[in-house]
Structures are given as structure tokens and as C-alpha cells.
Chain A
């Protein structure tokens, strides 16, 4: 479904230095996979995600989605960001309908679809609120609802729960997994938490920093819903964490 073919990305800092953010990435992601990109900061996971989404262009190589080269954001992919990305001047409902509005969907239909999603994420009573009235977790739920409103085949998530407290985070992970199990689509999820990755993903990709490269690729064949205290979970967790430790120490 997503093919990353020998992709490198060079950024130029303000002082004119060249920084190799990701180097020669080769990656294939299948339909309905839930892939987590894990790695220490500077390993280029967010950059890789943005390259796949088409927010930035690779310096070398190319990304193909469904066989077509990516040139800019695709209408069948959506993204959730770590920072709160709701438009602060729009109500929660109008934020969720934003993508549908851009697709010229009729207003009544927009509302119907958005309300169904808000219902799904427990936000139906907050549809007329402005984002500042919501808690951090609710904002991210709304942001996920907004991304899902355009019925994307691929959902990119860039540390979406990174700013949340531990309890809310668990809750959100559970809700996301429930959603994914019920309605499977391809998800690429960036996190620096190995635990989060093992809890969510069917496959964990480990990246190393300076330059960002893929160092390992783990299949997590545990059934959903997963629990964090079973031995198999622990084994995966330990294996990946050990490797992550080695990678960060280099």
C-alpha cells in the first residue's frame, strides 16, 4: 500500500548546515497494517511520516501510495498531529466537518457524518464547544474524528498522545485500538514509547538517530485487545527496548 523507496531527506539549518534527517529508507507497508515507528529523538520518524503524507518532498528516492508517486497530501490519507491542531475559532463540529467542507459535501451530510464520529468518540455533547473549552484528551479525540471524517484509507499519526497524561493516554490507546479493530485501515503511528508501540501495532519499526535509519522491524503477533502485563507482551517490550537502548547509546 505504501512503498518508501530509497528515500533520503536533507534539511538546511538557518546557519546553512546540511542535516541528513533520514537516510536511504526502504520500507513497505501493507493494507490494514498498524505500523509504529519508534526511535529516539533525531531518528527522523516524524520526517519519514511527513514524507509519506507528502507534506515534504524527499531529497532522494520516492514514496508511492497505491502505486502512485506521492506529490503532496493525498485525499485518501489523513494525519493527526502531536500538537493540538484544531482551528481555535471553529466549534468542535465545524472542525470535524472541515475536510468534508473542502470536498464540497452538502452541509446536512457533513453534519450527519461528523455527529456520528463525535458520538463514536464520546464528544457528542461538546459539538458546539470551541476547542479551548476541551481537555487535552478531548481535543485529540476531536482531531482524530476530523481526520477520520474524510474516510481515509491511510491514517498517519505523529505522536498523537505525546502531550497527554498517562491515564488519558491509556484511554486513548484503548479507544484507538477499538476503532481500528472494528474498522481496519492502514495506520502509521509515530511514538517514542515502546510500550505504546507494542500495545498498538501489528508491526514496530525501530529507527536510529543521526542520520535517521531503519535498524529493526518487529512483527507483534499478539491478539487484540492486548494486556500489558502478560509475558508475551513483556518479551516483545524487552526485546525492542534493549535494542532501542543500544541504538540511543551509539
Chain B
């Protein structure tokens, strides 16, 4: 009885993907046009050898790695600015009134809409040009990280992190602040010992959502001129070569990596912020 229960628990999340793969395979065989829809096996054979060189643009692993590096840079920059800013906006009503109407104008602008401006500003300059490196072992890596891409990813990650940080600080119960005050907490102590820990779960949610959006912005960022590597580049390049199987393999990589990152964040939320879900 118990064993059977575990089995169904394990099976349930697998049902839809398996069903999906079967439909896909049937459709691909029926259509018999690998440019429109390659077979499951064709895509799997690419995924099975992630280190193999693909149509002269490097392997899946290398491209994923470069993409991850770009996302990490844009995302960490966004987090480093958005979290402190969010805390101060959440804390100070005046700062809120000063900054938020202005920032709200930028929020609805899709990261992709920045592309023309970003290209005009940064062109194809990369971390390598910024740091004045013209050769050597890190050159190709640093040269692959364009400022324009980092900016697009930054824009994508910035707002979810900012709004969740503000929300987190504003939503700390007034009673908690008052009780800290009555126990003699200074403004600084209220900030460090009440508002920050109270807002932390919400910040982590913001970081999780922000990472998802940053990862989604990646493909658009890697379509920018000057891009010579990355999962997004792999997809667009494979598309121009009509290699739909590689396109799909790239999409699956994006899905897997994004899903994994989200999963890790959920684990962190469960592990450290259990109190928030259960507190009423």
C-alpha cells in the first residue's frame, strides 16, 4: 500500500512530459520534415553528447556555460543594486515618493525594447575592451561577455528583485517594529534586526523570479550583434542553418537550466524560510 503510494507520487510529474514526447514523436514521424519538426531521437542524440562540436559554434556545454556566466554577471549586478535600493525605498516613504513614480515608468518596458539604445551606447564592447585586455588566456571568454548583453539581463532581473524587496520591507508587521522600539532598538537596529530578516523571504522570492526573468532575457541578449557564443546564439545560428534539431536541443537546455535554478531556490525557501509559510 505504502509502496504503491510512493510509486504514484514519483510517477505523477512524469506523466505529462512522457505524453508530450509521444505526441511529438508521432507528429514528427507523420510530418517527416526535420526542418519543421525533428524527431525526438534526433534531438536526444544531440543532448546525449553535450560536449560535441555543433555546426562550428562550439558544444552545448560550452555555450551554456558562457550563457550562465553572462546571466550571473547581469543578475548579480541587478541584485546588488536592487536589494539595498528596495530596502531603503521600503523603509522611507519619502524615498518611495521620490523614486517609485520615476522607476515605474521603466518597469513596463520590455528588456528587448532597450536593444537599439543599448547598441548605440555599448556597441560591441565587452568586458575585455572595458578592462583593456587584448589577448591572453581569458580574452576569448571576456570578449564574449558584451556590456550590451549584461545590460539587457540586468534590466530583466532588476525590477522583480526591487519590487519584492520593497514589498518585503513594507510588509513587516508594524507590531514587530513597535515591539522592537519598546525594547529599545535604534533605527539601525530596527533595520538590521527586524526589517531585513523580516523581508528576507520576500527578497529570496524576488531573487528567484529575477533569476527566471534574467534567464529568459538571455536569448534576446544573445541575438544582439557581436554575439559569437551562448545558448541564444546557438539557437539563432542553428535556425539560420535550418538545424531545427539543434534549436530544440538549445531550448531544452534553457528549460533544464532554468528549471534547476528555480528548484534550488525553492529548496532554499523551504529550508530557511519555513517560518514564513506557517506563520499566520
Tell me how far the C-beta of B203 lies from the nearest C-beta in chain A, rounded to whole angstroms.
13
Q: What residues of chain B lie closer than 8 Å to A85, measured between beta carbons?
A: 173, 175-176, 178-179
Q: Is B182 a contact partner of A78 (Cβ separation < 8 A)?
A: yes
Q: What residues of chain B lie closer than 8 Å to A230, measured between beta carbons?
A: none
Q: Is B183 a contact partner of A78 (Cβ separation < 8 A)?
A: yes
Q: Which single residue of chain B is at the shortest CB-CB distance from A77?
A: B182
The reply to whether the CB of A83 lies closer than 8 angstroms to some CB of chain B is yes
Given contacts A53-B182, A75-B184, A89-B197, contact A83 B173 (CB under 8 A): yes
Q: Is A87 a contact partner of B194 (Cβ separation < 8 A)?
A: yes
The reply to whether the CB of A99 lies closer than 8 angstroms to some CB of chain B is yes
Q: What residues of chain A lie closer than 8 Å to B173, measured between beta carbons?
A: 83, 85
The reply to whether the CB of A150 lies closer than 8 angstroms to some CB of chain B is yes
Q: Which single residue of chain A is at the shortest CB-CB distance from B182?
A: A79
Tell me how far the C-beta of A113 lies from the nearest C-beta in chain B, rounded to whole angstroms.
14
Q: What residues of chain B lie closer than 8 Å to A164, measured between beta carbons?
A: none
Q: Is B179 a contact partner of A89 (Cβ separation < 8 A)?
A: no
A55, A79, A89, A103 interface centre (most CB from chain B within 10 Å): A89
Q: What residues of chain A lie closer than 8 Å to B189, measured between beta carbons?
A: 102
Could you tell me how many residues of chain B have their Cβ less than 8 Å away from some Cβ of chain A? 24
Given contacts A88-B276, A89-B198, A132-B279, contact A73 B181 (CB under 8 A): yes
DSSP majority for the B interface? helix
Q: What residues of chain A lie closer than 8 Å to B276, measured between beta carbons?
A: 88-89
The contact string, 1 if C-beta is below 8 Å from chain B, for chain A 187-219, is 000000000000000000000000000000000
Given contacts A73-B184, A150-B184, contact A88 B179 (CB under 8 A): no
The reply to whether the CB of B119 lies closer than 8 angstroms to some CB of chain A is no
Q: What residues of chain B lie closer than 8 Å to A78, measured between beta carbons?
A: 182-183
A98 to B194, CA, bound (A): 11
Q: What residues of chain A lie closer than 8 Å to B194, measured between beta carbons?
A: 87
The reply to whether the CB of A10 lies closer than 8 angstroms to some CB of chain B is no
Q: Which single residue of chain A is at the shortest CB-CB distance from B194?
A: A87
The reply to whether the CB of A137 lies closer than 8 angstroms to some CB of chain B is no
Q: Which single residue of chain A is at the shortest CB-CB distance from B183?
A: A99
The reply to whether the CB of A146 lies closer than 8 angstroms to some CB of chain B is yes
The residue from A77, A83, A89, A98 contacting B180, defined by CB atoms under 8 A apart: A98
Q: Which single residue of chain B is at the shortest CB-CB distance from A150?
A: B183
A101 to B184, CA, bound (A): 10
Q: Is A55 a contact partner of B181 (Cβ separation < 8 A)?
A: yes
Q: Is A103 a contact partner of B179 (Cβ separation < 8 A)?
A: no
The contact string, 1 if C-beta is below 8 Å from chain A, for chain B 111-151, is 00000000000000000000000000000000000000000
Q: What residues of chain A lie closer than 8 Å to B184, measured between beta carbons?
A: 73, 75, 99, 102-103, 150
Q: Which single residue of chain A is at the shortest CB-CB distance from B280?
A: A132
Q: Is B278 a contact partner of A132 (Cβ separation < 8 A)?
A: yes
The reply to whether the CB of B275 lies closer than 8 angstroms to some CB of chain A is yes
Q: What residues of chain B lie closer than 8 Å to A88, measured between beta carbons?
A: 198, 275-276, 279
A89 to B197, CA, bound (A): 7
The reply to whether the CB of A237 lies closer than 8 angstroms to some CB of chain B is no
- Please report which residues of chain B, range 149-199, place their CB below 8 angstroms from some CB of chain A when the two chains form the complex: 173, 175-176, 178-185, 189, 193-194, 197-198
The contact string, 1 if C-beta is below 8 Å from chain A, for chain B 249-280, is 00000000000000000000000011110111
Q: What residues of chain B lie closer than 8 Å to A102, measured between beta carbons?
A: 183-185, 189, 193
The reply to whether the CB of A131 lies closer than 8 angstroms to some CB of chain B is yes
Given contacts A85-B176, A132-B280, contact A146 B183 (CB under 8 A): yes
Tell me how far the C-beta of B133 lies from the nearest C-beta in chain A, rounded to whole angstroms.
44
Q: What residues of chain B lie closer than 8 Å to A130, measured between beta carbons?
A: 274-275
Q: Which single residue of chain B is at the shortest CB-CB distance from A50?
A: B178
Q: What residues of chain B lie closer than 8 Å to A98, measured between beta carbons?
A: 180, 183, 193
B184, B278, B280 interface centre (most CB from chain A within 10 Å): B184
Q: Which 6 A-B pairs have the closest CB atoms?
A: A99-B183, A79-B182, A85-B179, A132-B278, A88-B279, A85-B175
> Taking beta carbons and an 8 Å cutoff, which residues of B are in contact with A?
173, 175-176, 178-185, 189, 193-194, 197-198, 200, 273-276, 278-280
Known: A73-B181, A75-B184, A79-B179. 8 other contacts (CB 8 A): A55-B182, A72-B181, A83-B175, A85-B178, A99-B183, A131-B279, A146-B179, A150-B184
Listed A/B pairs (27) with beta-carbon separation below 8 Å: A55-B178, A55-B181, A55-B182, A73-B182, A73-B183, A77-B182, A78-B182, A79-B178, A81-B175, A81-B178, A83-B175, A85-B175, A87-B176, A88-B198, A89-B198, A89-B200, A89-B275, A99-B184, A102-B183, A102-B189, A130-B275, A132-B275, A132-B279, A143-B179, A146-B183, A147-B183, A150-B184
